[in-house]
Amino acid sequence: MKFNSGNSIGLLGGTFDPIHLGHLHIIETLAGKFDQIALIPTGQPWMKPETPIAKPKQRLEMCEAALEDLTEAAQEKAFVIDIEVEKSGLSYTFDTLQSLRAFFPRDNFTLILGTDAAFSFNKWKRPEDIKKMAEILVVKRPGAKPSDFKELEVNAPDISSTDVREELAATGKTTKVSKNVMAYIKQNGLYGSK
């Protein structure tokens, strides 16, 4: 990892319960736009109606497993940051950006948000300060209402982690996650997989 290098870094935070092919599509599509792309699994997500099923460490390990399933070009850019998983208490993006600044003093951050995240953004902790600390790029789901931010249509497959969990609970399998993530889910008996 290059530190203090003036790189452009895309930050994709998420609960990743589990990380799925929609997330990987976003990373692969944006890989060409940034010097690096960081995946930041949340520890204890704020504003989620329910607690994640998989433990923070398991969600982190699924992100790490998923990296190996990316295209080679995307693998060269992508890495996982454990800052929120290692911290106790709720995960706030403002706090994360502040902590990351210490490690990456001269790099330019772009916070990559999905449509739902973009529409809840004003309720986050210190949204105006977040906008000063990072650019914001919204990856639009097809047909989604436009947000107030810079947007990019990425045509990610229409998958949600909830769909994946439901499918696994009902059938024990899914084609909506990558190979290594499926192997991890099975090894750890997550989401009712067999």
Please give the residue ranges that form the binding site for ligand NAP (CB under 6 A): 13-16, 22-23, 26, 40, 42, 45-48, 91-94, 113-117, 120, 124-125, 139, 141, 156-161
Q: How far is the CB of 144 from ligand NAP (least distance, A)?
A: 8
Among residues 62 and 182, whose Cβ is nearest to ligand NAP? 62
Q: How far is the CB of 134 from ligand NAP (least distance, A)?
A: 12
Among residues 5 and 134, whose Cβ is nearest to ligand NAP? 134
Q: How far is the CB of 117 from ligand NAP (least distance, A)?
A: 3
Q: How far is the CB of 187 from ligand NAP (least distance, A)?
A: 21
d(CA 167, CA 182) in angstroms, rounded, equals: 12
Among residues 134 and 182, whose Cβ is nearest to ligand NAP? 134
Tokens of 53: 């099923």
Residue nearest to ligand NAP (CB): 114
